[in-house]
Chains A and B, each alone.
Chain A
């Protein structure tokens, strides 16, 4: 009998629960404890790139916005590179753009916002150009394992049509659930997104 391979098993996921803010955004829980806090603002005054606001809500199967959801985003910089050693052969981490942020939804409206820059197109392992996108990870009470999705941009029609991941989505009508709508408000570029956890317009979620 062969010896079993000695891989470990991944630790099982559990819900983040309704009080996730205590650990991850303590100011939202109602107190101040850390000297430095993570936030939904990914940019510094020196970050290169087009400033954009991402703004949206996450809805449950009854059409009600989640008011206790937490989102994290991970994205490339304006030239399509991630701030990580695997994608920065030239060296040190970029202090002006980490590429990651987190936000809790408003306790009343459920609105989630990020202040960031529009990412550049990236190249995948097969050398294909991928449309600009933001990776989103969603946790909340009632979500047993974090949900992964992507946000694409409505003004990138040609790139979206050629994107290798969007093109895997069947039926094609579901691709629209991943595309945020560009608008302007008080001179600022705002992309609006909707994430439906369940139902007729259910957002595409990925097993990555």
Chain B
């Protein structure tokens, strides 16, 4: 035991010492729960999907590592979409809190990881120069935010519930209300973008993007349940959305046990 060099605490892993280059890679990705690249019901995927199989490579340091973010990267209102673009009042819409944990496949929280989110306003209109839907922009709503998970992987933000909106896929295609999520994890191989939906939305089963997911349970896990216990009386309802990133394997005989 090296007493001269005290172990460096890696804040993103509940471990007494940093993991090393000899740590295991991430669990193999289970593609049966992810949408296939080529999903013709979602028409844009047809020309934007590789036809060659992906080349599987073992994780090296390139994949096990990833960018580190800190509170210096964020501003004080970054997780409050009610306030972070307010000009002369609050945005119009259902006030909600979205909260949950970022976990890995072993069930451990992923601490200090960056979670980013973006969405349309209550009427289904995005603040984006390419969105031309006739529903109006809300002058007090930007529609994006970000948060760092805490020591247990917990994150939360406040916003208004987005509205559904039409899009040019089939003649009469409408997206369910949803919030886009971008999550980092501790290694670049965990990088994930997904979408959160709302419990009970009847547009969910008919959405050509959601139904690209081949696994019913995987689809259900993208639907956030109403969480009355987390709501604020006379202020905001709440929805709970846990996000699971890939787990990391142990390296029993390479170095020391880690990851389990």
Chain A interface residues toward B at CB < 8 A: 6-24, 26, 29-31, 33-36, 38, 60-62, 64, 66, 68, 72, 74, 76, 82-87, 89, 91, 93, 98-100, 107, 122-125, 130, 133, 135, 137, 139-148, 150, 165, 168-169, 174, 197-199, 202-208
Contact = CB atoms under 8 A, between A and B. Distances in A.
Contact of B57 (A60, A62, A84, A165): A165
Contacts of B143: 22-23
B142 A31 contact: yes
Interface of B: 8, 10, 12, 18-23, 26-27, 29-31, 33-37, 39, 42, 44-52, 54-68, 70, 72-75, 78, 84-85, 103-107, 116-118, 126-131, 142-144, 146, 180, 182, 186-189, 191-195, 209-210, 212-213, 215, 217-219, 221-222, 243-247, 254
Given A20-B180, A61-B51, 19 more contacts: A8-B105, A9-B105, A10-B246, A13-B193, A13-B194, A16-B182, A19-B128, A20-B118, A22-B127, A84-B65, A84-B66, A84-B68, A85-B18, A124-B60, A144-B34, A144-B36, A148-B189, A168-B57, A202-B52
A159 B40 CA distance: 40
B128 A21 contact: yes
Given A87-B65, A145-B37, A11 B244 contact: yes
Contacts of A124: 60-61
Contacts of A168: 55, 57
A147 to B, nearest CB: 7
B31 to A, nearest CB: 8
Contacts of B31: 207
Contacts of B33: 9-10, 12
Contacts of A87: 21, 61, 65
Interface secondary structure of A, over-half rule: loop
B49 A197 contact: yes
A35 to B, nearest CB: 4
B63 A135 contact: yes
Nearest to B120: A19
A7 B106 contact: yes
B55 A145 contact: no
Contacts of B243: 11
A61 B48 CA distance: 6
Contacts of B65: 74, 82-84, 86-87
A160 B118 CA distance: 39
B187 to A, nearest CB: 8
Given A84-B66, A85-B19, A206-B56, A14 B130 contact: no
A124 B30 CA distance: 24
B8 A207 contact: no
B129 A29 contact: yes
A-B interface, 4 closest residue pairs, ranked by CB to CB distance from nearest = A23-B118, A142-B44, A100-B67, A142-B48
18 contacts: A7-B107, A12-B215, A13-B193, A19-B130, A20-B193, A22-B144, A29-B129, A36-B73, A83-B67, A86-B18, A86-B64, A86-B65, A141-B48, A143-B48, A144-B36, A205-B50, A207-B54, A208-B57
B252 to A, nearest CB: 14
Given A19-B128, A31-B127, A83 B192 contact: no
Contacts of B49: 61, 142-144, 197-198
A98 B57 CA distance: 24
Nearest to A119: B62
Contact of B48 (A20, A24, A123, A198): A198
Contacts of B187: 84, 86
B142 A107 contact: no
A203 B107 CA distance: 35
A137 B191 CA distance: 9
A15 B127 contact: no
B61 A86 contact: yes
A103 B116 CA distance: 16
Contacts of B246: 10
Given A19-B118, A122-B61, A125-B21, A13 B51 contact: no
Contacts of A8: 103-107, 244, 247
Given A33-B84, A87-B61, A9 B218 contact: yes
Contacts of B48: 60-61, 66, 140-143, 197-198
